[in-house]
Amino acid sequence: MSPQNERILNYLELHGSITALEAEEYLGIRRLASRINELNMLGYNIGGIMVSVQNRYGEKCLIKRYFKRKRC
């Protein structure tokens, strides 16, 4: 497993979820969706939801927030 994937998993354990902006700012990871895909292919169950946020100009936009799904 790559160091970036390990950082993502640790962040998810500590914070519960992550966005691309958080990944870049706190972990130095720019292609979060690609890393999430890799983790899912490795057997980790990581999902995501689209959430509405305001950007710095007060405009609404959608971003994806990823989280570890609970196993049944």
Which contiguous run of DSSP H or E holds residue 61? Answer: strand 60-68
pLDDT digits (tens, 9 = 90+) for 36-61: 999 999 999 999 999 999 999 999 99
Q: Which domain holds residue 45?
A: 3-68
Chain mean pLDDT for the chain = 95
Angle among Cα 65, 66, 72 to the nearest 5 degrees reads 135
Indicate the residue type of 57: Y
> How many structural domains is the chain composed of?
1
Torsion over CA of 12, 47, 25 and 1, rounded to 10 degrees?
Answer: 70
What is the domain-level CATH number for residue 49? 1.10.10
pLDDT value of residue 72 = 57
